[in-house]
Every structure is written in C-alpha cells, then in structure tokens.
C-alpha cells in the first residue's frame, strides 16, 4: 500500500528520503511527497501527483536542505490521487506535517467536531484529520508533540502508521503504529553519531543499517537528534524495544541487470526454491524437517480441520495446498477468501488449525481473518515471506518462505514458494500421521528436491515467448483451463495476465467449459490449457478437442515429448515430467513469462501496474 520513509541524524535527509521512496514505490505509486525542516527551522512540504520521479522533478531548484524529514508514496484510498491529497499533510497553522498509511474509520466524526471548533481542512483525506487532530490536542492540552500524538491517537478508530514533524521541535521525529507496519532503523553516521531511519518495511533502511526495531501496535516513538529513542504505549507507559538484525541484502533489492523486477523474480525461482527447501528436505534420510510442525505436532495431529485464509495469488497457492494436504495427510482443508471469511460468522472449532498464507504478511483482510479465528480459540499458523511482518507475529507458529524480497507487484516467486512450503507442510503432517507409505513419502521428497532443477529446465527450454507474445497484444479476452492440481494454475495464469496487461482473462476447471464458458469460444479467443501427460490427460485432450472444433486458439503447456496435444495446439510450452502434484510449480513458469511479455508488448508498467499495490493494508 502506501510507503513511509523518515530520517533524523546529521546527514542530508532529502537524498535518503528520495532513495527510500524509490525503493518503496512498489507498494503504491499515485503520488509522492516529502517534508523537511531546514537548518533555519523552516518546515517545507513538497508533493506531486504521479511517481517519485515526478516529485524529484518538481522539487528541482527548491530548498531541500535539512537533516530531518519524512516522505510518502501514496496509493489512494480517501480522495483521488492528486497533489492536494498527496502526503505529507500540513496542520492548519503549518506547524506540523504528517504522513500516514492505513485508514482512519472515524475520520468524518473527528473532522466534524474540529470544524465546529474552527479548524479548516483543505483535502478530502482521512490523513489530514490526523494531523489537524494532533495540533488541536496540542493547543487544548498545551503539550508537546510526543504527548499530543499519544492523546490524539486514543480517539482514533482505524489503522495507522504515521510519522510527524513539528517545526517547533526540529530535533524530534515522532512515529506511531496500529495495524500498519513501521520499522525504525538504528544507524551510526561516519562521525559516530546516532541516527534513525524509518520505513514501512525494511527496503529503505537496509542500505544504512541492519539493526531495526519493529514498532508494535499502539506504540509511539520519539527519535531525537541527540540519538535518544523513547517508545511508549498510548497510556504513556515506557516500552522496552527489541532490536532485531535484518537478514536481507541490498543486492536482493536491485534489478540485477533485468529490465524489470518481475522478470528477475521469474528467473530467480529455481534458486529461490532451493533456499526455500534448504534445511527442510533431508535427502540423505529422506525426511522433511519443518520446525513449525515438529514444535506443534499435537495441534496438527488432533486438528479437526485446516482452514487456509488468503487473498489473490496466495489464495491460489492455498488451493494447491488444500489438494495436497487432503491427499497426503488426510485432513479436511477449507480454503477461504480472507475478505469473506472475516465478515461471515464462520464456524471455527477450537481444534481447527487456521493457516494464513501471505507474501507480505500485512494484508489487512488476512490479518483480520486470523484475528477472528484467534478469538474463537483456533491454533494459528502463518506462511509469510516478509520476516517480522504483522501476520508472522500474530500467528502462534509458522514457516517463512525464504524466497527473498519480492518487489514486482505481480507475485511470482512468492507463489511458487508458498506452494513448496505447503507441500513441505503436507509432507511433514503426513509423516507424523503415517498417512503415506514410506515408499510414496520418499518418492515425494526425492521429487520435490528435483523441482528447482526442473524449474531451471523449464525456463531454459521455452525460448521466444517474447516474440510469440506479440501476437496476443490485440486480444481482448483469454481463457485458462486446467484440471485437478492445475485448476489453481489456470486461475493464477489468468490473474497474472489481467493484472499486468489489463487484458481480461478467466481461469476455469477445464470440465466446467461445457457448462457455460464454451459459448465464448470463437477464432478470436486464445485458450491456455495446462495439459501435462499426467492426471486427467485424456479428459483434457477431449476438452481441447471441444475448443478446437469451435476454432479457439490453443496455447498448451505440455510434458516434454508429448505429441498428441502438441499437434492439436497452435503453440506449446514444454515442461519436464514430474509427479502430478508438482506440475503447478513448473506449469506456472511459462504462464508468468507469457503475461510478462504480453504486458511489455502492450507497453504496460509491468512492475507497477495501475491501481495495484504490493501490500494491501486496507480492506
């Protein structure tokens, strides 16, 4: 969603803030802004519609000096994306400037109350209400910024991560969070002085320090230019923060010679999957070692059900996980859209295990879904990529993907990492429950170990997708079909295409075609069919025949050496043979590339598609 950066120390803040905004731009990108206090104590706010580069351009020639500042890249929720609604927002007197991520639910009531008392607003945003409220409280209680922020936040309903500057206190940067992440980086300048960095995630901080503090809900922090840090809760009780060392490297945040993060992340999948399974698959002893399962064995052995809550791509990987866990570990699994689950009074038993699958670990709907499950006594397990994220911290136990930061907005390596992690989980439970024969268990372990190499093979043996993709740039619709484990791949392939190319695409279970969607087939309609020589191959061949006879264009994902489907299809992508359940890990790769190249051919901004954000921290 939106991104926050902040700095206080003895360096020039502006270059740090701008670089940080560029790193956070993947989270949201319809406007950007920066606030600085210069050495004469003047507070300036610069903002502009569009990307961070537009902000840089508009700031050209203006005074950007000062060693304290805050900055923001926005993904609009309240108020259209324009300069007025962009952050930072001034208070009425222009003494304060504030940036905010999240949503203030009672902003209308707060605004009405302040307007009655003479406060004048100039934007439509809930964020302006926050900064005005802080100033209002400062005046009413005649207190400093740190105290005013604590008092103001007590009357706020909603989610926030904020950073505030006060012209009267150029030595203080104040921040607070509830439901929206905020990280404080603890740095030391070349002269040995303490300095503080602020980020909505670690990406703008890692270049300067790997020592960070994850601010907790309802905590307010005061970072002082002298190097002092004080953290209190909303009741003004001092908190003892825990300093954590980040495991991320700067290289992981760069494009590494690729034109887009998405392409880099597609090609990174073999090595990312090796990291994901490292230490968890024991090939010598043919074993799966997942500490989250080992430590909570009884919870999984006694689970009445597993409920997986997720959104978007993570929901698709959850569906593959369901098929596998039910098959291997014989536990009923339900997969829920977190956004629906949280609002429909679902039946949750105390002996249910509820798994949240989320790349960012910050998705508001998924977080709310597990909070609901927690209140009903279920055991919570998190499958997240971002270390220390809200979902990772809100769950009782879990497994990290360890696939490295995913910057491209369209999820690629996180999807395959989630699928592999769910396979590891299913295998680990199956081992404890003895639901698979030793022979089958060993075979599945062996084959999972080979998957990264087979992914590499797949990436190496499907050349020219870029040229082939050109033919489809004028298409208005696509259909994706798959059966069994490949039905979720059809859903994911369709989502990838629509989110980055803006071509309408739908995924269906192949056999559902005849119940309606077949009416859409004509010579204009490309149909992508996942047709490996496994599982329901013959049935998929029949589905292809039905489409052919209606002149649909077939793009098929086939197993190496397959002749039948290859002869029927207009174009084929090849994958090596593997177990039925592991096909999704290979079949999705050419589909990711197809989406990527169609989007590039249409001139789309692949890494930052319109209207989307990397981490959806609003409902």
Residues near ligand F6R (CB under 6 A) are 311-314, 358-360, 363, 366, 410-411, 495, 499, 615-616
614 is catalytic: yes
Cα 448 to its chain centre, rounded Å, is 25
* Residue given tokens 């909070």 in the structure block: 371
Smallest gap from residue 484 Cβ to ligand F6R (A): 22
Smallest gap from residue 295 Cβ to ligand F6R (A): 24
Smallest gap from residue 265 Cβ to ligand F6R (A): 11
Minimal CB distance to ligand F6R: which residue?
Answer: 312
Extract the tokens encoding 609: 């598609």
Extract the tokens encoding 575: 């994958």
> How far is the C-alpha of 323 from the C-alpha of 165, rounded, in Å?
51
Extract the tokens encoding 376: 């009903």
Extract the tokens encoding 3: 């991104």
* Residue 73 or 412 having the CB closest to ligand F6R: 412
In sequence order, which residues have a C-beta less than 8 Å from that of residue 516 and are 6 or more positions away?
none
Strand 477-482 vs strand 526-531: parallel, antiparallel, or unpaired? Answer: parallel
Cα 16 to its chain centre, rounded Å, is 24
- Sheet strands (E) in 321-365: 333-337, 352-358
Smallest gap from residue 201 Cβ to ligand F6R (A): 12
* Residue 181 or 270 having the CB closest to ligand F6R: 181
Which one, of 43, 87, 93, lies nearest residue 69 by Cα?
43
In sequence order, which residues have a C-beta less than 8 Å from that of residue 362 and are 6 or more positions away?
1, 180, 181, 386, 389, 390, 391, 615, 616, 617
* Residue 205 or 410 having the CB closest to ligand F6R: 410
> How far is the C-alpha of 195 from the C-alpha of 175, rounded, in Å?
15
Helix (H, G, I), strand (E, B) or coil at 603: coil
Q: Which of 51, 178, 496, 614 is catalytic?
A: 614
What's 377's DSSP letter? T
Helix (H, G, I), strand (E, B) or coil at 111: helix
* Residue given tokens 């700095």 in the structure block: 7
* Residue 486 or 595 having the CB closest to ligand F6R: 595
For residue 5, what are the β-bridge partners?
71, 199
Smallest gap from residue 156 Cβ to ligand F6R (A): 25
Sheet holding 89-90, edge to edge: 89-90, 96-101, 160-166, 172-178, 219-224, 229-233
* Residue 67 or 615 having the CB closest to ligand F6R: 615
Smallest gap from residue 562 Cβ to ligand F6R (A): 29
Instruction: Please answer whether residues 188 and 9 qualify as being in contact, where contact means their C-beta atoms are separated by less than 8 angstroms.
Output: no
* Residue given tokens 């230019």 in the structure block: 225
How many CA atoms are closer than 13 Å to the CA of 523, on its beta-carbon side? 0
* Residue 209 or 389 having the CB closest to ligand F6R: 389
Smallest gap from residue 492 Cβ to ligand F6R (A): 8
Smallest gap from residue 366 Cβ to ligand F6R (A): 5
Smallest gap from residue 318 Cβ to ligand F6R (A): 10
Extract the tokens encoding 364: 């508001």
Helix (H, G, I), strand (E, B) or coil at 364: helix
Which one, of 495, 514, 515, 516, lies nearest residue 506 by Cα?
495
* Residue 186 or 616 having the CB closest to ligand F6R: 616
What's 607's DSSP letter? S
* Residue 44 or 366 having the CB closest to ligand F6R: 366
* Residue 138 or 615 having the CB closest to ligand F6R: 615
* Residues with a known catalytic role: 2, 614
């Amino acid at each position: 969603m939106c991104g926050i950066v902040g700095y206080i120390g003895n360096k020039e803040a502006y270059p740090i803030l701008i670089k940080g905004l560029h790193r956070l731009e993947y989270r949201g990108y319809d406007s950007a802004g920066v606030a600085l206090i210069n050495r004469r104590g003047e507070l300036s706010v610069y903002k502009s519609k569009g990307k961070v580069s537009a902000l840089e351009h508009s700031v050209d020639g203006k005074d950007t000096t000062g060693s304290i500042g805050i900055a923001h890249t926005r993904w609009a929720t309240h108020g259209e994306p324009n300069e007025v609604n962009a952050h930072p927002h001034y208070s009425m007197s222009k003494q304060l400037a504030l940036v905010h991520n999240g949503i203030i639910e009672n902003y209308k009531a707060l605004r009405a109350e302040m307007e009655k008392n003479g406060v004048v607003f100039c934007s439509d945003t809930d964020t302006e209400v926050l900064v005005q409220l802080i100033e209002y409280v400062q005046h009413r209680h005649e207190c400093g910024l740190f105290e005013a922020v604590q008092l103001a936040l007590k009357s706020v309903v909603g989610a926030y991560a904020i950073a505030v500057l006060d012209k009267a206190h150029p030595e203080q940067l104040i921040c607070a969070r509830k439901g929206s992440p905020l990280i404080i980086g603890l740095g030391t300048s070349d002269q040995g002085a303490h300095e503080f960095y602020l980020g909505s995630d670690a990406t703008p901080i890692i270049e300067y320090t790997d020592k960070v503090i994850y601010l907790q809900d309802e905590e307010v922090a005061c970072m002082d230019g002298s190097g002092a840090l004080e953290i209190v809760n909303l009741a003004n009780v001092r908190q003892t923060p825990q300093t954590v060392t980040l495991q991320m490297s700067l290289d992981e945040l760069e494009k590494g010679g690729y034109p887009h993060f998405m392409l880099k992340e597609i090609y990174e999948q073999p090595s990312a999957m090796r990291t994901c399974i490292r230490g968890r698959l024991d090939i010598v002893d043919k074993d799966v070692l997942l500490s989250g399962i080992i430590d909570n064995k009884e919870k999984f052995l006694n689970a009445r059900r597993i409920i997986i809550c997720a959104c978007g791509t993570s929901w698709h990987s959850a569906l593959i996980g369901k098929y596998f866990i039910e098959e291997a570990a014989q536990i009923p699994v339900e997969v829920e859209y977190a956004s629906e689950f949280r609002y429909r009074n679902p039946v949750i038993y105390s002996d249910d295990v509820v798994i949240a699958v989320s790349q960012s670990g910050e998705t508001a709907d998924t977080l709310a879904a597990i909070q609901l499950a927690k209140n009903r006594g279920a055991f919570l397990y998190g499958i997240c990529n971002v270390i220390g994220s809200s979902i990772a911290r809100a769950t009782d136990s879990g497994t990290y993907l360890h696939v490295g930061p995913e910057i491209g907005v369209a999820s690629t390596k996180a999807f395959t990492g989630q699928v592999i992690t769910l396979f590891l989980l299913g295998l680990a439970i199956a081992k404890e429950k003895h639901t698979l024969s030793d022979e089958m268990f060993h075979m599945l372990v062996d084959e999972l170990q080979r998957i990264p190499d087979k992914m590499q093979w797949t990436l190496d043996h499907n050349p020219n997708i870029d040229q082939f993709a050109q033919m489809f740039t004028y298409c208005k619709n696509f259909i994706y079909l798959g059966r069994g484990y490949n039905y979720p791949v059809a859903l994911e392939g369709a989502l990838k295409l629509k989110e980055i190319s803006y071509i309408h695409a739908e995924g269906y279970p192949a056999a559902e075609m005849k119940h309606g969607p077949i009416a859409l087939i004509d010579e204009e309609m490309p149909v992508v069919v996942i047709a490996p020589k496994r599982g329901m191959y013959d049935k998929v061949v029949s589905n292809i025949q039905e489409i052919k006879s209606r002149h649909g264009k077939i793009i098929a994902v086939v197993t190496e050496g397959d002749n039948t489907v290859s002869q029927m299809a207009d174009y084929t992508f090849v994958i090596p043979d593997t177990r039925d359940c592991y096909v999704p890990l290979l079949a999705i790769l050419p589909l990711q590339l197809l989406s990527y190249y169609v989007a590039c051919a249409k001139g789309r901004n692949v890494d930052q598609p319109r209207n989307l954000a990397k981490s959806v921290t609003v409902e």
